[in-house]
Copies of this chain bind each other. A is one copy, B any other.
Amino acid sequence: MTNNSALRVVIVGGGFGGLYAAKAMPAALRVTLIDLRNFHLFQPLLYQVATGELSPANVAVPLRSLLRRRPHAQVLLAEVVDFDIAARQIILADGRVEYDSLVVAAGMKFNYFGHDDWRPLAPGLKTIEDATTIRARLLTAFEMAERSNDPAARRRWLTFVIVGGGATGVELAGALAELARYTLRHDFRSINPADARILLVEGRNRLLEAFPDDLSSRTQSTLETLGVTVYTGAIVTDVRSQEVSVERGGATEVIPTGNVLWTAGVRTTPLADRLAAATGAATDRLGRLVVEPDLTLAGHPEIFVIGDMAHFAHQGGQPLPGVAPVAMQQGRYVAKVLARRTAGKPSPPFHYHDRGNMAVIGRSAAVADLYCCHLAGFFAWMAWLFIHLLYLAQFQNRLLVLIQWAWNYFTWNRSARLITEPPKTREER
């Protein structure tokens, strides 16, 4: 199956960048894709797992499935801990792997801006386990409110604070508001789930700063119609187990709640620091590695860095945003560069084709900043549906997701409302 004299390409990370690179690599190369997990995660839909709309397997596809028809590509489940650049080796937790060309696409993690102690109190949404943990927390909060006889405790259980008004924060707030208002409407006997207070806290003066002004204000008003309270120009200054402090207009409000979700910012993983240290690459304030026009590191034409962890200076010096289309295009570009190198040909610099930006707010409501126009409402939502179905990595997932969405839409129901972290019973304690 493999050609032992072929050049070895090692790809670190099976996200959008790494997967699209692996899929596009020419068959003349020996490709190894290394990830700690056995699946590719369709991150843009992860918030729907956290809010009970989709199941984990709807948004995650085994990497081996995705590469099964590429016998020149193999998947290795392993943890990359460092790089030996001089020896051209990747250092795993339990071994080493040699490469001729290296593609690093290890993504980002949430940034708590120096408050890493907030992480367990205000979980972020990056992994499948984050999503099922958050789902369990949200649903448990309603259960605890139902069981409580103390109005203050009940109020606290039914207060949800989402930190960060980017796409993930907006999508979570909208999905949570609909869960409380519609899906759970007939489910409880002592509380009215629609009484839930959902607060979206954004530090800047508008939501969705990557979008134009008119779509930001449209997003805010749509969320408010759904019952979400939007605080802009507001900073979370403390997170404790039963309350958060929010500073806004000079005053500090203390909000009793144990339900805090974090979507407020990202930075690179420690692996990016190690790669920067090993190669001497420059990094920006989020830890992203500054790449050349061909996505390699300066002085290391054999090392490519792509996706969220790359700082690629776009028009006017602004780095490209950390979104799936950038990573996908960069993955495919790297495969093309390596194919051309094999043929002894030079490559043109990477160019990002920006096809627009979208965020969904809820049922029949989304915003889309497209090349042609700004869309909001039902048509933006249809466009969002169509594009996400198009990109879902495997046909079956598309079909199942479509049916699940259709069911959710017409019945206002969500079937994946499982609390799957088992409560500790007295026997186990």
Binding site for B on A (CB under 8 A): 1-2, 36-39, 55-58, 60-62, 64-65, 68-69, 71, 74, 76-79, 81, 93, 127-129, 132, 139-140, 143, 147, 184, 186-190, 270, 394, 396-397, 399-400, 403-404, 407, 411, 413, 415-423, 425-427
Cβ–Cβ contact A426 & B79, under 8 A? yes
Cβ–Cβ contact A38 & B400, under 8 A? no
Cβ–Cβ contact A69 & B186, under 8 A? yes
Cβ–Cβ contact B2 & A189, under 8 A? yes
Cβ–Cβ contact B415 & A77, under 8 A? no
Q: Closest B-chain residue to A2, C-beta based?
A: B189
User: Quick one: which of B62, B189, B396, B420 contacts A417, CB cutoff 8 A?
Assistant: B62
Chain B proximity of A68: nearest CB distance (Å):
4
Question: In the assembly, what is the distance between CA of A140 and CA of B403, in Å?
Answer: 31
Cβ–Cβ contact A420 & B129, under 8 A? yes
Copies in the complex: 2
Chain B proximity of A121: nearest CB distance (Å):
18
Q: Which residues of B contact A417 (CB under 8 A)?
A: 38-39, 62, 65
Chain B proximity of A17: nearest CB distance (Å):
20
Cβ–Cβ contact A38 & B415, under 8 A? no
Chain B proximity of A363: nearest CB distance (Å):
17
Question: In the assembly, what is the distance between CA of A76 and CA of B142, in Å?
Answer: 11
Question: In the assembly, what is the distance between CA of A74 and CA of B187, in Å?
Answer: 9
Cβ–Cβ contact B416 & A57, under 8 A? yes
Cβ–Cβ contact B394 & A415, under 8 A? yes
Q: Closest B-chain residue to A78, C-beta based?
A: B147
Chain B proximity of A349: nearest CB distance (Å):
34
Question: In the assembly, what is the distance between CA of A17 and CA of B58, in Å?
Answer: 31
User: Quick one: which of B36, B61, B413, B421 contacts A415, CB cutoff 8 A?
Assistant: B61
Cβ–Cβ contact A62 & B418, under 8 A? yes
Cβ–Cβ contact A189 & B71, under 8 A? yes
Q: Which residues of B contact A69 (CB under 8 A)?
A: 186
Q: Which residues of B contact A139 (CB under 8 A)?
A: 38
Cβ–Cβ contact B55 & A58, under 8 A? yes
Q: Closest B-chain residue to A408, C-beta based?
A: B396
User: Quick one: which of B93, B140, B187, B418 contacts A39, CB cutoff 8 A?
Assistant: B418
Chain B proximity of A213: nearest CB distance (Å):
39
Of all A-B residue pairs in the complex, the 4 with the closest CB atoms, nearest first, are A64-B187, A57-B416, A55-B55, A68-B186
Q: Given A56-B418, A403-B403, 19 more contacts at CB 8 Å?
A: A2-B189, A37-B422, A38-B419, A39-B418, A55-B56, A57-B416, A61-B415, A62-B187, A65-B413, A65-B415, A78-B147, A79-B425, A79-B426, A132-B420, A394-B415, A396-B407, A396-B415, A399-B407, A400-B403
Chain B proximity of A281: nearest CB distance (Å):
21
Cβ–Cβ contact B396 & A400, under 8 A? no
The CB with the most chain B CB atoms within 10 A, among A60, A147, A420, A421, is that of: A420
User: Quick one: which of B56, B147, B189, B399 contacts A403, CB cutoff 8 A?
Assistant: B399
Q: Which residues of B contact A76 (CB under 8 A)?
A: 147
Q: Which residues of B contact A74 (CB under 8 A)?
A: 189-190
User: Quick one: which of B188, B400, B421 contacts A400, CB cutoff 8 A?
Assistant: B400
Chain B proximity of A311: nearest CB distance (Å):
23
Question: In the assembly, what is the distance between CA of A280 and CA of B177, in Å?
Answer: 50
User: Quick one: which of B140, B404, B423 contacts A36, CB cutoff 8 A?
Assistant: B423
Chain B proximity of A333: nearest CB distance (Å):
26
Q: Closest B-chain residue to A189, C-beta based?
A: B74
Cβ–Cβ contact A38 & B128, under 8 A? no
Q: Closest B-chain residue to A188, C-beta based?
A: B64
Q: A57-B55, A81-B426 are in contact. Are A419 and B37 (CB under 8 A)?
A: yes
Instruction: Jot down 6 A-B pairs with beta carbons below 8 A, ordered by A.
Output: A37-B419, A39-B419, A77-B419, A79-B426, A396-B404, A400-B403
Chain B proximity of A379: nearest CB distance (Å):
27
Q: Closest B-chain residue to A144, C-beta based?
A: B77
Cβ–Cβ contact A38 & B143, under 8 A? yes
Q: A413-B396, A416-B57 are in contact. Are A427 and B270 (CB under 8 A)?
A: yes
